[in-house]
Amino acid sequence: MEKVAGYPGWSWMVGLFHGGRILTCLMLISILAHCSESGEVFMEGQWFTTLFMQGTWGTAESLSRILLEQVHCAVIGYMLKDFCGLYGKDGLEMGFVLHHIGGIAGCSMCLHFPSLVGLVAFNAVQCEFASAWYNLSVLYESTILNAIYVVLMGASNIATVPIGGWVFHGPIEDMYRYGYVVLTVLIVFLRCGGWVVQLKSLCGGRGGGGGGGGTEVKVKVGKQKTKKETKKDK
């Protein structure tokens, strides 16, 4: 597969399936498994309190907790693969490097959380889900996909504020409390940088009749100037 935006096309596709499907399915199945293990009714929503807010890692025999662990392990593995020399001598851009380091450190720390295990797993999933839409908008250039990404990424970044507040005021040690908030701020800052770039691209595309339309207008204007100059010379 050819390169897309400087990276192999397969890497964008892997990110699309990773964040858009695999993590989402793991999270949903984990909630359903928790309801089965606890006897709770999914539609009544008790699981939000018992799994998200009060949930601990418990024992290795708990399927719901095993699946939550796999959420973090999948994110860690997905990001680690980008440091294995797959992209040649150029490697990753610095923004991606910092984002991946923060993500790996954050998910590794979450595996040691004494509580709130469902909440922090959900935060990882919703962040990666929004990122998957970025991959989709890069693979299939479209104003509509870009607009959806801008909305989802904005909502994802906003959602980290109450989640970070719950973690900060949760029944956890200061090491986890401050570590999680610092890493969250770092990652959201980096994600906002990419979000602003895409927002500017979207606004520019609308003004010029689409992403490719803006370039096309410039070319046409350049041709018109050349024709006028030629007539004057004659």
Structural domain boundaries in the chain: 3-233
Q: SS3 of 157, please?
A: helix
Q: Which residues contact 44 (CB under 8 A, 6 or more apart)?
A: none
- The string of DSSP codes covering 90-147 is T---HHHHHHHHHHHHHHHHHTT-SS-HHHHHHHHHHHHHHHHHHHHHHHS--HHHHH
Q: In this predicted model, what pLDDT tens digit does every residue of 132-185 receive, in sequence order?
A: 999 998 898 888 998 999 999 999 999 999 999 999 999 999 999 999 999 999
pLDDT in tens, 25-43: 999 999 999 999 999 999 9
Closest CA to 82 of 60, 65, 107, 104: 104
Instruction: Of 38-42, 49-53, 61-65, give the lowest mean pLDDT range.
Output: 61-65
pLDDT at 92 over 90: no
**Tens digits of residue pLDDT in 5-16:** 888 889 999 999
**What is the reported pTM?**
0.83
